[in-house]
A and B are shown apart, each in its own frame.
Chain A
Amino acid sequence: MTALTTNGILSSTRAELLRLRKWPAVWVTIGAWLALSLMFGYLFNYLSYTSGDSSFSTEGTTKAALLAEMMPANVPDVFVQGMPMFGGALMMVLGAIVAGNGYGWGTWKTVFTQGPSRTSVLAGSLVSVTVAVLGVMVTSLVVDFGCSLVIAGTEGQSIVWPSLGAMVESFGAGFLVLEMWALAGFVLGTVARGPALSVGLGLVWALVIENLLRGVGQLLSPVEAFTEILPGTAAGSLIGSIVGVERGGDGTPGVLDVLSGTQATWTVAVYVVVLPLVALWLVRRRDVV
């Protein structure tokens, strides 16, 4: 890599970070993730825990299990369980607006006449999106621990920390999943040269079509083989391998056990490597007006 490229990537990253940091839409997206993961991770569980009906026969075990889920030791699971579903969807929105809006606004045109090469600019933008994804993860980890500590304190539970290994595993898997969806959004926004269509199609794909295909796959094996390489399947299975999937239960939506943890990790990792290359290939060759 030449000095020119390195400088270009540095300049571009600094520029992109500035404009993302000051973009309300980015904060709305991140805020939505935090709100949703708090609601489904702690708020609803805590409400049903405190308002538990004592005449219910299985009350004892249910209440204990509910409480255990909200304890610090269980943070590695709670942290990632929403990621295949709304976490991924929100990161896809983030990627799509970062890449797509600039075509309608004419800002990519302006940026491409500043000096850094398109490769540098794109690298800077992708690094910035990745920083945002990491920021989301760290923030939500802190918030999750905060909630669980408050609940443990209120309910007079002794504090047991999760193992470091479990933390690292959750963080790594969660990062891969969110990053993959953010990159997928980035590619879609680049293809469509705008956020609206790409977000719409991306969400329909991730939330609806993949589910339908997995349903069809149970009847037709070629379709099943196809679904196994899809991003939603891989992300869901990766998270499923961490939090576990209740057999026949109404488990967390999007969390799957279609693939083994290893296979799921590899599939997601391939997407994380290939998607930026696709974006780069598209941006380098296109006319920008």
Chain B
Amino acid sequence: MNESVVETHGLTKRYGDRLAVDRVDMTVKTGEVYGFLGPNGAGKTTTLRMMLGLIRPTAGSASVLGQPAGRPDVTARIGALIEGPGFYPYLSGLDNLRVMARYRGLPKSTAAAALARVDLADRGSDKFKSYSLGMKQRLGVASALMGDPELIVLDEPTNGLDPAGMADMRSLIVELARGGQTVLLSSHLLDEVQEICDRVGVINKGRLLRESTVADLRGGASLVVRGFPVDATLAVAMEVAGEDAVHLDGEDVLLDVSPGQAPDLTRALVARGVDVHQIGSTERTLESVFFEMTTEKEAVS
């Protein structure tokens, strides 16, 4: 499971004097759902285009499935939807997939099967140009699924979908990963990445800020206590969790311990006559982590 499917080294793309992607080293492992997270304009699409050989890096390299990006024999093993679905407007959804199936050398039946997987079977004979944004997006995903490629690259696949469509898309992605396919999913939506990804790479302004599991990124949950008097609360908390793991935030005492220690802490506080007003666990959201990370790096650079 630790074999890597995608590896980039110092991957860089420059447009004029703007660095769209700046020395990105990223690794996607076999069988995982990798979330490529970053705000609009961060460089996600540009990075993915380089992985598929659509554009050439200014510097650095990307290897996919053990080979240099863009080689025909590698591309044939990837299914991709990069920045919006590109299909023939005058063809039906089904015919569009049939054309792509022919390019891939796949049997005709693959097209109908892929259409069914994204719930478009009943609209397959309608022209692509008559599709709503969400349907176009789903057709793009269907095309990426054809032939069960080893790696599926989806660039913001939930763009333009309504909440129900988003939920469907996410469960489809989870299903793909269960079936053993590796999914590289780009997104600007934190909850999406948090919900379905195993690992995440955070990109902002072309720089890959961090790459880790979603759990690591959020950090462990911790406890927060509000008790009076505050001094006594703080003292007890230090006895229970150790001096370094405790700090004061206004009247709240924060402890870097697992939420499972809440009963011990409560008993100790009560034994020392502290009035416990509130005790609970805090869980950092990816949002706060992300916000911290992007502002931190900006202050440094």
Contact = CB atoms under 8 A, between A and B. Distances in A.
Interface of A: 4, 7-8, 11-12, 14-15, 18-19, 22-25, 105-117, 120-121, 287-289
A125 to B, nearest CB: 11
A112 B53 contact: yes
Contact of B105 (A11, A121, A287): A11
B197 to A, nearest CB: 22
Given A18-B95, A115-B72, A107 B88 contact: yes
Contacts of B135: none
B72 A110 contact: no
A115 B104 contact: yes
Contacts of A120: 72
B82 A113 contact: yes
B165 interface: no
Query: Size class of B's contact patch?
Result: 20 to 34
A25 B90 contact: yes
Contact of B102 (A11, A105, A109, A288): A11
Contacts, number: 90
A6 to B, nearest CB: 12
Contacts of A287: 49, 54-56
Contact of A22 (B73, B75, B95): B95
Nearest to B71: A117
A120 B72 CA distance: 10
Interface string B34-57: 000000000000000100111110
B84 interface: yes
A255 B83 CA distance: 48
Contacts of A121: 103
Given A114-B104, A289-B83, 5 more contacts: A18-B102, A23-B88, A107-B88, A115-B75, A287-B49
B76 A115 contact: yes
Label chain A's interface by main secondary structure: helix
* Most chain B CB neighbours (cut-off 10 Å) among A7, A24, A110: A110
Nearest to B146: A114
B73 A114 contact: no
A88 to B, nearest CB: 25
A107 B75 contact: no
A287 B87 CA distance: 19
A112 B90 contact: no
B99 A15 contact: yes
A108 B95 CA distance: 16
5 contacts: A19-B95, A22-B90, A25-B90, A105-B88, A107-B86
Contacts of B100: 15, 110-111, 114
* Most chain B CB neighbours (cut-off 10 Å) among A19, A24, A287: A19
A110 B54 contact: no
A109 B85 CA distance: 9
A117 B72 contact: yes
Given A4-B73, A120-B72, A288 B87 contact: no
Contacts of A7: 105
B78 interface: yes
Contacts of A15: 99-100, 102-103
B103 A12 contact: yes
Contact of A105 (B55, B86, B95, B104): B86
Interface in B56-89: 56, 72-73, 75-76, 78, 80, 82-89
A116 B56 CA distance: 17
A14 to B, nearest CB: 5
Contacts of A8: 72
Given A110-B86, A113-B78, A288 B103 contact: no
B98 A106 contact: no
Nearest to B86: A106
Contacts of A116: 72, 76, 103
A50 B53 CA distance: 64
B91 interface: yes
A19 to B, nearest CB: 5
B103 A289 contact: no
Nearest to A113: B80
Interface string B102-114: 1111000000000
A288 B100 CA distance: 17
* Most chain A CB neighbours (cut-off 10 Å) among B73, B88, B99: B99
A25 to B, nearest CB: 7
Given A15-B100, A15-B102, A114 B76 contact: yes
4 smallest A-B Cβ distances: which pairs?
A106-B86, A115-B76, A15-B102, A114-B103
Given A12-B103, A106-B85, A113-B78, A4 B90 contact: no
Nearest to A19: B99
B90 A113 contact: no
Contacts of A113: 52, 54, 75, 78, 80, 82
A47 to B, nearest CB: 36
Contacts of B88: 19, 23, 105, 107
B222 interface: no
Contacts of B76: 114-116
